[in-house]
Chain A
Amino acid sequence: MSQFLQVLLSGLATGSIYALVAIGFTLVWQAAQTVNFAQGEFVMLPAFFVLIGMSVFGMPLWIALIFGLAISIVVLGVLFKKMIVEPILPHGGITLIIATMALGILLKESVKEFYSAEAQPFPSLFPGDPINVFGAVLSLQDVFNLVISLGIVVLLTLFLNRTRTGRCMQATAQNPAVAEILGVNVKRMILYTFLINAALAALASFLITPVYLAKFSNGETLGLIAFIAAIVGGFNQIRGAIAGGLLIGVLDNLTAAYVTAQYRAALPLVLLIVIILVRPQGILGTSEGRTV
Chain B
Amino acid sequence: MSVPVLSVRNIEKSFGGIRAVRGVTFEVRKGEILGLIGPNGSGKSTLFNCILGQLRPEAGEVEVNGQNVSGMRASDLNRLGVGRTFQQLSVFPKMTVLDNIILAGQEHHGTMLSRLFGPGDAGLTNEAERLISFFRLTHLRDTLAGSLSYGQQKLVDAAMAFMAGPSLVLLDEPAGGVNLTMLANLKERLTAYNAEHGTTFVVIEHNMEFVMSLCTRIIVLAEGGIIAEGKPEEIRANQSVIDAYLGG
Q: Which residues of A contact B (CB under 8 A)?
A: 161-168, 170-171, 174-175, 178-184
Contacts of B48 in A (CB 8 A): none
Evaluate contact between B120 and A163: CB separation under 8 angstroms: yes
Evaluate contact between A170 and B94: CB separation under 8 angstroms: yes
How many chain B residues have a CB neighbour from A under 8 Å? 28
Contacts of A165 in B (CB 8 A): 115-116
Evaluate contact between B114 and A164: CB separation under 8 angstroms: yes
12 A–B contacts, CB within 8 A, in A order: A164-B110, A167-B95, A167-B99, A167-B106, A171-B103, A175-B90, A175-B92, A181-B74, A182-B75, A182-B107, A183-B108, A184-B103
Contacts of A162 in B (CB 8 A): 120
Contact of B78 among A161, A171, A183 (CB under 8 A): A183
Complex Cα gap A183–B79 (Å): 7
Name the residue of chain B whose CB is nearest to the CB of A185: B107
Complex Cα gap A231–B160 (Å): 34
| Binary flags per residue of B118-145, CB closer than 8 Å to A gives 1, else 0 | 1010100000000000000000000000
Evaluate contact between A180 and B75: CB separation under 8 angstroms: yes
**A41–chain B nearest beta-carbon distance, Å:** 30
Complex Cα gap A168–B95 (Å): 11
Q: Given A164-B120, A167-B103, A175-B90, verify A183-B110 contact (CB < 8 Å).
A: no
**A180–chain B nearest beta-carbon distance, Å:** 6
Evaluate contact between A184 and B107: CB separation under 8 angstroms: yes
Contact of A180 among B74, B79, B110 (CB under 8 A): B74
Contact of A164 among B75, B91, B118 (CB under 8 A): B118
Complex Cα gap A187–B78 (Å): 18
Evaluate contact between B92 and A174: CB separation under 8 angstroms: yes
Q: Does B93 contact A (CB under 8 A)?
A: yes
Evaluate contact between A167 and B86: CB separation under 8 angstroms: no
Complex Cα gap A165–B106 (Å): 10
Contacts of B92 in A (CB 8 A): 170-171, 174-175, 178-179
Q: Does B28 contact A (CB under 8 A)?
A: no
Evaluate contact between A178 and B90: CB separation under 8 angstroms: yes
Complex Cα gap A174–B146 (Å): 10
The 4 closest A-B pairs by CB, nearest first: A183-B107, A162-B120, A178-B90, A174-B92
Evaluate contact between A182 and B103: CB separation under 8 angstroms: yes
Contacts of B118 in A (CB 8 A): 164
For the residues of A in contact with B, the DSSP-based class is helix
Contacts of A170 in B (CB 8 A): 92, 94-95
Q: Of residues A162, A170, A178, A179, which shows the largest number of chain B Cβ atoms within 10 Å of its Cβ? A: A178
Q: Given A164-B110, A167-B99, A183-B75, verify A174-B93 contact (CB < 8 Å).
A: yes
Q: Does B102 contact A (CB under 8 A)?
A: yes
Contacts of B154 in A (CB 8 A): none
**A30–chain B nearest beta-carbon distance, Å:** 10
Contacts of B62 in A (CB 8 A): none
Q: Does B204 contact A (CB under 8 A)?
A: no
Complex Cα gap A178–B89 (Å): 10
Contacts of B102 in A (CB 8 A): 167
Q: Given A180-B74, A183-B107, verify A164-B90 contact (CB < 8 Å).
A: no
**A5–chain B nearest beta-carbon distance, Å:** 36
Evaluate contact between A181 and B115: CB separation under 8 angstroms: no
Q: Given A182-B78, A182-B107, verify A174-B95 contact (CB < 8 Å).
A: yes
Q: Given A165-B115, A167-B99, A167-B106, verify A181-B94 contact (CB < 8 Å).
A: no
Complex Cα gap A182–B114 (Å): 18
Q: Given A178-B86, A183-B79, A183-B107, verify A171-B114 contact (CB < 8 Å).
A: no
**B80–chain A nearest beta-carbon distance, Å:** 11
Evaluate contact between A174 and B120: CB separation under 8 angstroms: no
Contacts of B94 in A (CB 8 A): 170, 174
Contacts of B13 in A (CB 8 A): none
Complex Cα gap A184–B106 (Å): 9
Name the residue of chain A whose CB is nearest to the CB of B74: A181
Q: Does B104 contact A (CB under 8 A)?
A: yes
**B33–chain A nearest beta-carbon distance, Å:** 22
Contacts of A182 in B (CB 8 A): 75, 78, 103-104, 107, 160
Interface residues of B in 180-215 (CB under 8 A from A): none
Complex Cα gap A161–B160 (Å): 19
Q: Does B44 contact A (CB under 8 A)?
A: no
Complex Cα gap A49–B78 (Å): 44
Complex Cα gap A100–B75 (Å): 33
